[in-house]
C-alpha cells in the first residue's frame, strides 16, 4: 500500500521504487552501530521483506526506517536513520508519527524496537522498557556480518 505525506518540504513515503539502495546500504554497513559490515545481498532482502519508509528532500533520500510485521498484531521497527546533514530538523519525530499512523498498522497489540541511544525519541511515542522483561528472550549473533565463521560461532556461544 502506497502511503505518502509531505511535511515541511520533506516527502515521507512507502514507495519502494523511490528507495535509493546505495544510501541505505552505505549507512547501514558503514555508519550504523547495529549493522556494520552487512552485505548488499542482506540489505536487499531486508528491503524486499519489510515495509520500508523513506524520507526525501527533493530527489535525495535523507532517511529510512523499516517495519517487519504481520500487519495485524505486531510490528518490529528497525534500521531507523536520518543522514547527518538533515538531523536536528525534527525528521525522526515526523518519521515516527508517519509510521505509527500508517493505515495497515492500526490496532497492533505490540510494537517492538531496539535502540542504544534514542530512547528519548521513542518514549515520546509511548515506547517503554519491556513491561515484563522476564518474558523476553533472544538469540543474538553480534558478529553475523563479520564474514568469519569461527568468530560467529564463538560469539554465538558467548551470547546465548
Q: What is the pLDDT of residues 48-57, one digit of tens each?
A: 999 999 999 9
pLDDT at 131: 86
Task: Answer whether 115's CB lies under 8 Å from 122's CB.
Answer: yes
Q: Which domains does the chain have, with CATH numbers?
A: 4-113 (3.40.630.30)
Closest CA to 54 of 88, 84, 26, 94: 94
Instruction: Specify the pLDDT at position 159.
Output: 56
pTM value is 0.90
Residue 147 confidence (pLDDT) above 80:
no
- Residue 28 CA to residue 35 CA, distance in Å, equals 5
pLDDT of residue 155: 56
Q: Which pLDDT score is estimated for 84?
A: 97
Q: How confident is the model at residue 146 (pLDDT cuts 50, 70, 90)?
A: confident
Q: What is the pLDDT of residues 98-110, one digit of tens each?
A: 999 999 999 999 9
The confidence score (pLDDT) of residue 120 equals 95
How far is residue 98's CA from residue 109's CA, in Å, rounded to a whole number? 18
Mean per-residue pLDDT for 23-35? 97
Q: What is the DSSP letter of 36?
A: T
The band of 127, judged by pLDDT with boundaries at 50, 70 and 90, is very high
| pLDDT attached to residue 26 | 98
Amino acid at each position: 500500500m502506497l502511503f505518502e505525506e509531505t511535511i515541511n518540504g520533506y516527502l515521507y513515503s512507502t514507495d519502494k521504487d523511490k528507495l535509493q539502495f546505495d544510501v541505505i546500504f552505505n549507512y547501514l554497513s558503514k555508519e550504523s552501530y547495529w549493522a556494520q559490515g552487512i552485505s548488499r545481498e542482506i540489505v536487499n532482502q531486508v528491503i524486499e521483506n519489510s515495509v520500508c519508509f523513506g524520507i526525501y528532500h527533493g530527489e535525495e533520500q535523507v532517511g529510512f526506517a523499516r517495519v517487519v510485521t504481520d500487519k495485524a498484531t505486531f510490528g518490529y521497527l528497525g534500521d531507523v536513520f536520518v543522514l547527518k546533514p538533515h538531523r536536528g530538523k525534527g525528521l525522526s519525530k515526523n518519521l515516527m508519527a508517519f509510521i505509527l499512523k500508517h493505515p495497515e498498522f492500526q490496532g497492533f497489540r505490540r510494537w517492538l524496537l531496539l535502540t542504544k541511544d534514542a530512547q528519548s525519541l521513542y518514549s515520546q511515542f509511548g515506547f517503554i522498557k519491556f513491561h515484563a522483561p522476564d518474558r523476553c528472550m533472544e538469540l543474538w549473533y553480534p558478529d553475523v556480518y563479520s564474514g568469519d565463521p569461527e568468530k560467529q560461532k564463538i560469539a554465538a556461544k558467548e551470547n546465548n
